[in-house]
Amino acid sequence: MPKIVIVDDDVAIQMELEEYLIHMAYTVVGTADTGAGAIEMAREMEPDLILMDINLPGEMDGISAALKIKEEMDVAVVFITGFGDPETIERAKRVEPFGYVMKPFDEQEISGVIEIALYKKEMELKLKAAHDELEQRVRERTAELQKANDELAHEIEERTQAEKKLQETKNTLNSILTSATEYAIAATDLRFRILHYNPAAERIFGYKAEEVLGRTVQEMHTREKVAPERFENAIRAVSEHGKYEYEVIDQDSTGKRRFIHSVVMPMSDEKGEATGYILFARDVTKIRELQTQVVRTERLAATGKLAASIAHEINSPLQAITFILNSLKQESGHDKEASDKIDLLKGAFTSIRDTVKNLLDLNRPGKSVRQQTDINRVIEKTITLIRTQLKKNGIELHQALSPRIPNFTASPQQLNHVFLNLFNNSVEAMAGISKSKGGEMGLIGRGEINVKTNLRKSHVVIKVADNGPGIPKEDLEHIFDPFYTRKKTMGLGVGLSVCHEIVESHGGTITVGNGSEGGAVFTITLPLEGKDLNPKPFSIAALSEKIKKVSE
C-alpha cells in the first residue's frame, strides 16, 4: 500500500487524518509538526505522498519544506490549508502540488484528493517509462539503420570489383527492405523510376510491388491526384537540406483516418555521386492519438486547478455570509417576513455554492470512481453549467426526464463530460448557422435542444436532439473517429471519440442520426446492472492501453 506522511502542527488534525487514512487502508509511516521535521521524516521514510499543512510554526512553512523535499526526492505533495492569499497561492504553485485540501474537510474529500494525486503520480511514472522506452527504441532503430547503410555502402564499393559482388549486394539490399516491417521503404533512380518497394510499403500505401516497380513517381502522383507542388518541394528540399520530411493524413481501406510520416533522402555511390532517392514512411497514428490524449489530460488538469482556485475565493466569503445570515435569522425571532427574506438569500447563496461544486466536479478528470448514480441529476447538473451559454445564443433546452429510472452504478463525472460535449456541439451547430445568416436566430427558427430519459427493460435510454442543421450523411459513419472534425477554427476532433469510449466503458452504446424534421439526434443506451457493464475505468484503462500499444 502507498506510504503517507502527515505534516500539521495541530495534533487533533494529525489524529483525524491518520484515522481517515487507516480507515481507507493507507499506511501512515510518520507524522511531523514543523517544516524541518517534515524534511527529516521524508528522508527517513521515503513516502509516496505527503499531506502538508501550509501554515507551520517556525522559520520554514509547508511550502518551503515541500520545495526542499522536491529537490531531494520525487514525492507527491498535497497541501492542506484553511485560507490562501494570492501571494501564498503563487508560492505554492512553484511546488507543483498534486492537490489541495481545504479546512474543514471530511473523509470523502481526503479520499478523492489522495486517489487523484496517487493516480496522477502513477500516470507520470508510466508516461516517463513509456517515453524512455520509446527513446531507446528510436536509438536502437537509428543504430540499426546506420549499420544497414554502412553495410550497403561497403557492398556497393565491392560491386565495382566483380559481377558476383553486385549480385550479393542486390540480395542483401532486398533482404533489408523485406525485413523492415515497421517502415515502408521505396527507392528510385535519378529519373525517379521506382526500383525497390518493400512489403511494409505495400501495406501502408495500398499498392502491390508489381503495380509500382518500373513506374515513375510522377506517374503514381498523377494516379493518386497528388498536387505537383509536393514533388517539386520534395526535390528542392532534398537538394538544399539533404532530406525532405512531411506528414500526410489519409484514410485506410476501412475509411479510418491515419497519419503517415515520410522522409525522402538522396542516395549516392562510393564516390559521393548521386544515384537516386530513398523514401522511409511510417504509420504514426497511434503516436498522434496518444499525444492528443496527453494534451487533453493536461488541459483538463490545468482547468481543474483554476476551478479550484476560483472555488476557494468564492466559498470562503460564502461561508462567512451564510454564518451571518443564520445569526440574523435567530435574532429575527418571530418576524416571518424577515425570516423569509433571509431564507431567500440563503437559497441564492446555496445555488452559487452548488454551481461552484458542479464546476469542480466537471474538472476532475481523474475522479472516475463508479458509484450509485442518479442519471437525471447528472443531466440537471450539466445543464446548470451551460445555462448562460444557452441564453446568450437564444437557445431553449427542454427536459423530459423519467422519474421511473432507478440509481445505477456509473461514473457521474465521466457522464457529465459526455452530456456537456453533446450540449456544446448542439449549441455550436445552431450558433454557427445563426452567425452565417446575420446573427439572427429567427432566420432559422428559435434554437431548441430536447433531452429525454426513459427506462427500457434493464437499460436507460437518453436522447439528445436539436433542431440545428444536422450531420451530413458522409460524416455519420466517421463521427466517432478520433481527429474527425468539421470545425474550421478550433477543435482536435477528439470530443465525440472520447464520449464513445466513456459510454462503451460503461457497457453502453451511443449512436447518431438525423431527425425526420432535421437536426442531430444522439441516443445513449446504458445498462442498469449485469453483464453488459464494463468494470474497467475508462480514464485509466484507455490511457494505459494507448501507452502500451505505442511502446510496442
- Whether the CA torsion 208, 211, 216, 222 is positive or negative: it is negative
pLDDT at residue number 116: 85
Q: What is the pLDDT of residue 366?
A: 47
What DSSP designation does 10 have? Answer: -
Q: Are 292 and 307 in contact (CB under 8 A)?
A: no
The pLDDT value recorded for residue 396 is 93
In the three-class reduction of DSSP (H, G, I as helix; E, B as strand; rest coil), residue 5 is classed as strand
Annotate 347-363 with three-state secondary structure.
HHHHHHHHHHHHHHHHC
Helix (H, G, I), strand (E, B) or coil at 274: strand
Q: In which residue ranges of the chain is pLDDT below 70?
A: 83-84, 160, 162-163, 166, 169-170, 173-174, 176-178, 180, 221, 223-225, 252-255, 293, 295-304, 306-307, 312, 351, 354-368, 432-445, 481-495, 530-552
CA 126, 128, 131, 137 torsion-angle sign? negative
Q: What is the pLDDT of residue 365?
A: 46
Q: Report the candidate in 157, 155, 205 with the shortest Cα–Cα distance to residue 176.
A: 155
Task: Single out the residue of 31, 127, 114, 30 nearest to residue 76, CA to CA.
Answer: 114
pLDDT at 304: 62
- Contact indicator for 63, 88 with CB cutoff of 8 Å: yes
